[in-house]
């Protein structure tokens, strides 16, 4: 019994040690759990703070993105306003340009009318003079000198503003002289003065014309025929210039003219006569050029940009000289303005499109940030819940640690008691063994006494 008690005491001591160690380990783990719970609680607080900060940043990102979108919208409105202002300015300039062009066209029309009137008057004067001279010559041939002188003076009066100096001088001499001088003027001096003026005109033409015309003029001046200069002026100069005029017509065709000019030039070349070539260069070329210029202006009006349409509209209202200058020179400068205008608009709108794309990307990023913030808020809420649980677990761990410590202390006490019990058991065993020996001795003595008693 004593041995069994000692063995049980030893086992109790060992178990108490194991319990003590387990209790100590449980206490240590409880401490770590408490620390972990405290850290979790602290991190949960950080998560909540981070969630708040991310939410604020996401809100700021949304505000910034909306500001960017508003800025792009305002920039688009400014660009549209600028385009409208430019369009209005072009319209105003066009209106003013049209008014000015109409004035120039009116001036050109008036000049042409004045020239035509002068030409008509010259033609009428020439015909009138011819009529007076014919009447005077007829009266003079009929022997009616008085009537011839009267009509002759009227003819000489009409020639006082003649461009020919010899004709003008002869008329002045006749008007200031006697009837004989007038008769002499009708019969001879007038013709001699006209021939002399024609010779001077031939000389002036030779000095300002081509070599072929100058050579023909020289031959006309050297001719003994008194009417050679007059014939040269009427037909000879045109015939002499035929080769040069043909070259000029080919030059016109080589400059890529319009449809009307090309048709008239080709017709003159096909005719092949000096008169046709001369008529094309002096009459038809101008009219065909006007027609082609108008066609080109209408084409530019339909296909050009805002500046080209404005300028073409103005030129169409202007003079033929203005249209010609626009077609051969000014349209290229206006086309450059249209090109610069289109380039500027493209660059501005490309910049606005890029800004709009950046703003859209900013909105997308802000939306993603808001989503992340919402998720962070949700995670923070979950972290807060886990932090609350961790606080509970920490409290449980502290309680478990205290209980473990109490158990460890109780185990230590049990171990001490077990050790004392083991000592007591050992002492009891020693006493028991002594008692056994004493009992054995007493039993042997009793047995001997019994034998002696029997004996």
User: Does residue 40 form part of some domain?
Assistant: yes
**Closest-CA residue to 132 (of 201, 196, 190, 199):** 190
Please report whether residue 341 resides in a domain.
yes
Residue of higher predicted confidence among 250 and 36: 250
- Residue-wise pLDDT for 45-76, tens only, equals 676 777 788 788 878 888 887 898 888 888 88
Q: What is the pLDDT of residue 315?
A: 93
pLDDT of 432 over the 60 cut: no
pTM of the model: 0.60
Q: Is residue 120 situated within a structural domain?
A: no
Of the chain, the end-to-end C-alpha distance in Å amounts to 39
pLDDT tens, residue by residue, 208-219:
888 999 999 999
pLDDT-derived band at 279, boundaries 50, 70, 90: very high
Residue 415 belongs to some domain of the structure: yes
Q: How would you class 158 by CB atoms within 10 Å of its CB: exposed for 0-12, middle for 13-18, buried for 19 or more?
A: middle
- Biggest CA pair distance of the chain: 241
Helix and strand numbers, DSSP H then E, in the chain: 15, 0
Residue 113 has pLDDT above 70, yes or no: yes
Report the C-alpha gap between 348 and 83 in whole angstroms. 11
Domain count, the chain: 1
Can you give the residue range of the structural domain that contains 432?
A: 1-106+302-453
Task: Retrieve residue 25's tokens.
Answer: 């380990």
Q: What is the pLDDT of residue 414?
A: 56
Question: Residue 286 falls within a domain, yes or no?
Answer: no
Of all residues in the chain, what percent carry a pLDDT higher than 90? Answer: 37
Helix locations, 177-284, DSSP H:
179-184, 190-208, 211-222, 228-231, 237-240, 242-254, 259-271, 274-279
Looking at the domain assignment, is residue 430 inside a domain?
yes
């Amino acid at each position: 019994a004593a041995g069994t008690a000692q063995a049980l005491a030893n086992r109790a001591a060992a178990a108490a040690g194991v319990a003590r160690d387990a209790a100590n380990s449980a206490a240590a783990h409880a401490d770590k759990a408490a620390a972990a719970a405290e850290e979790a609680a602290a991190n949960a607080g950080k998560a909540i703070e981070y969630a708040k900060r991310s939410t604020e940043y996401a809100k700021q990102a949304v505000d910034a993105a909306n500001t960017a979108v508003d800025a792009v919208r305002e920039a688009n409105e400014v660009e549209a306003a600028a385009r409208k202002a430019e369009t209005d300015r072009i319209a105003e300039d066009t209106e003013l340009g049209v008014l000015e062009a109409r004035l120039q066209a009116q001036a050109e029309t008036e000049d042409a009318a004045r020239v035509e009137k002068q030409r008509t008057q010259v033609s009428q004067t020439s015909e009138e003079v011819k009529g007076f001279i014919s009447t005077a010559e007829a009266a003079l041939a009929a022997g009616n000198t008085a009537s011839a002188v009267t009509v002759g003076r009227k003819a000489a009066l009409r020639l006082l503003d003649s461009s020919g100096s010899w004709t003008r001088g002869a008329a002045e001499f006749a008007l200031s002289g006697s009837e004989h001088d007038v008769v002499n003027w009708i019969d001879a001096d007038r013709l001699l003065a006209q021939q002399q003026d024609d010779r001077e005109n031939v000389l002036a033409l030779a000095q300002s014309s081509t070599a072929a015309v100058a050579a023909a003029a020289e031959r006309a001046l050297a001719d003994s025929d008194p009417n050679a200069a007059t014939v040269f002026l009427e037909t000879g100069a045109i015939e002499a210039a035929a080769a040069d005029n043909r070259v000029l017509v080919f030059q016109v065709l080589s400059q890529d003219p319009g449809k009307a000019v090309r048709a008239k030039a080709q017709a003159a070349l096909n005719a092949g006569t000096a008169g046709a070539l001369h008529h094309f260069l002096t009459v038809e070329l101008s009219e065909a050029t006007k027609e082609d210029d108008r066609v080109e202006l209408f084409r530019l009006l339909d296909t050009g940009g805002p500046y080209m349409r404005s300028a073409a509209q103005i030129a169409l209202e202007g003079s033929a000289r203005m249209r010609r200058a626009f077609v051969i020179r000014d349209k290229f400068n206006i086309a450059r303005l249209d090109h610069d205008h289109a380039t500027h608009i493209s660059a501005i709108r490309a910049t606005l499109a890029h800004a709009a794309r950046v703003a859209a990307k900013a909105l997308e990023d802000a939306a993603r940030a808001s989503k992340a913030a919402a998720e962070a808020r949700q995670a923070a809420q979950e972290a807060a819940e886990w932090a609350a649980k961790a606080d509970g677990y920490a409290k449980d761990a502290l309680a478990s640690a205290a209980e473990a410590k109490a158990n460890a202390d109780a185990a230590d006490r049990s171990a001490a008691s077990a050790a004392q019990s083991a000592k007591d058991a050992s002492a009891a065993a020693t006493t028991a063994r002594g008692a056994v020996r004493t009992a054995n001795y007493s039993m042997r003595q009793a047995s001997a006494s019994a034998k002696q008693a029997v004996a």
